[in-house]
Structure 1
């Protein structure tokens, strides 16, 4: 197949391009190379067709879609940004860009789409109260965070909760601008599928890390921030008490998930969208990740600061059972192995 990968010059996108080409697909890359995510010229595998253009440019998208069999849509502005002033850029890049792409696909008759989703659409993860069963805590209060009370309490009785795995049927509850735009991308893709008879596989990534991760920027992931600090000879600064639980999934596993999703998307009913969590199934706390990375790098141990970011959630870990059962995918890179590799891998300037 000829597959268009938007955002294919980015951290995750470039790994997807390599996986697709290794599997025998022809790949065309469209990427705007936005300064917030790229500080240097992109480097693509030999044989990948390059289009330097913005996904919001309807003519460039139309040109890039000629002859394409499927689209793998990775282009997005990622992370929490610096403040709410970033909101128009997030909405423009993520939602307007997706709308322009989908309109172009509708016109070109391209009916297969793999969409980069995110765990952030869920908000907080799954929690159970001993007295009230499964509950959904509201956003954490500033007063509690200031006092170092980081665990969300039961909304009914205020007692501590047990965190569990989130599956794809969990209610969505985006709690920051980025999360809202990622959910809007899914809604736009679902509307496109219904209108055109298209098929969409959404891969909701959990915390992706690995070789080629960009250096620390306001939009970088926590693993990149910690790795960049170690490279400077500084201790990783762990927010809250370090007990936030996440699912750290290696970028090669994310790339392989995209490969199997694009191969299987034809098996979905016409006009439907199907969401899949992409997680390692091996949750760890942020503090554990920082310690493992610092140990593997040989740098100073992490420092727990008690700082917090509004909009962050406490625990969000994935059940990837649907992706395993329906598409036969399973992660290959274990946590310790991945962190050791990441500690020794060079970061990219963008």
Structure 2
């Protein structure tokens, strides 16, 4: 059992984005297992059409993860943080980049700084498979290859599957290992990778533990 966890095994867990699709299921599961979930969520209109119902036994802290005072209040008595809060999707164009960086990376930095101050040393981060880019593909002639960015003309024509960058042949998709190189190809992917790097820096600096679930 990690340092700071209660001897009886009951943990007080802060779930950022705990009212979202994934976060709400985590909160329900934590409650079902006897833990004490704390929900921190800004209820952004793009993700929530109406205010969600907070599961019985969960503490509700409305607010933005980018606000230091709100995060500090939410961390009171917390043993572990499950960081789900993020702006998702691809956006309309690159003009959305500041919003993605603010929500995902600034928000993560504020959270980690508050955790360092509060002495919370365990973090579970919602990673994403998008950090791998197109992923793994195999060509009959050239073996494992990394396709380049998909052409707009191909997408507009309904050609969604990438071709071999060396011979243009059709490719067979394969499984991506966790040791595959990161290759973020859009703003969202870049912010998700930045979250992981920030978490790793925090863990080294404070002696904490961080796990990213891609």
TM-score (norm 1): 0.57
Closer, same or farther: CA 149–27 of 1 in aligned 2, 3 Å: closer
Cα drift, residue 203 of structure 1: 1.1
Match for residue 124 of structure 2? Answer: 114
1:289-323 CA-partner distances (Å, limit 9, x unpaired): xxxxxxxxxxxxxxxxxxxxxxxxxxxxxxxxxxx
Q: Cα RMSD between the aligned structures?
A: 1.2
Counterpart secondary structure, 1:165: coil
Cα drift, residue 142 of structure 1: 2.2
Counterpart secondary structure, 2:38: strand
Cα drift, residue 130 of structure 1: 1.6
The equivalent position to 1:154 in structure 2, one of 158, 164, 172, is 164
In the TM superposition, 1:210-289 aligns within 5 A as none
The equivalent position to 1:104 in structure 2, one of 114, 118, 134, is 114
Cα drift, residue 149 of structure 1: 3.4
2:211 counterpart of 1:176: no
Match for residue 123 of structure 1? Answer: 133
Match for residue 91 of structure 1? Answer: 101
1:52-109 CA-partner distances (Å, limit 9, x unpaired): 1110001111111121100000011111223322211111000000000000011111
CA distance in 2, matches of 1:103, 1:190: 13
2:212 counterpart of 1:202: yes
Cα drift, residue 191 of structure 1: 0.8
CA distance in 2, matches of 1:50, 1:148: 45
2:24 counterpart of 1:2: no
The equivalent position to 2:25 in structure 1, one of 7, 15, 18, is 15
The equivalent position to 1:167 in structure 2, one of 147, 159, 177, is 177
CA distance in 1, matches of 2:92, 2:181: 27
Match for residue 58 of structure 1? Answer: 68
In the TM superposition, 1:131-142 aligns within 5 A as 131-142=141-152
CA distance in 2, matches of 1:5, 1:192: 18
Match for residue 189 of structure 1? Answer: 199
Match for residue 70 of structure 1? Answer: 80
CA distance in 2, matches of 1:147, 1:52: 45
Counterpart secondary structure, 2:127: strand
Counterpart secondary structure, 1:33: coil
Counterpart secondary structure, 1:66: coil
Counterpart secondary structure, 1:154: coil
CA distance in 2, matches of 1:88, 1:105: 24
CA distance in 2, matches of 1:33, 1:157: 48
CA distance in 2, matches of 1:168, 1:177: 21
CA distance in 2, matches of 1:29, 1:148: 41
Q: Matched residue pairs, number?
A: 204
Counterpart secondary structure, 1:125: coil
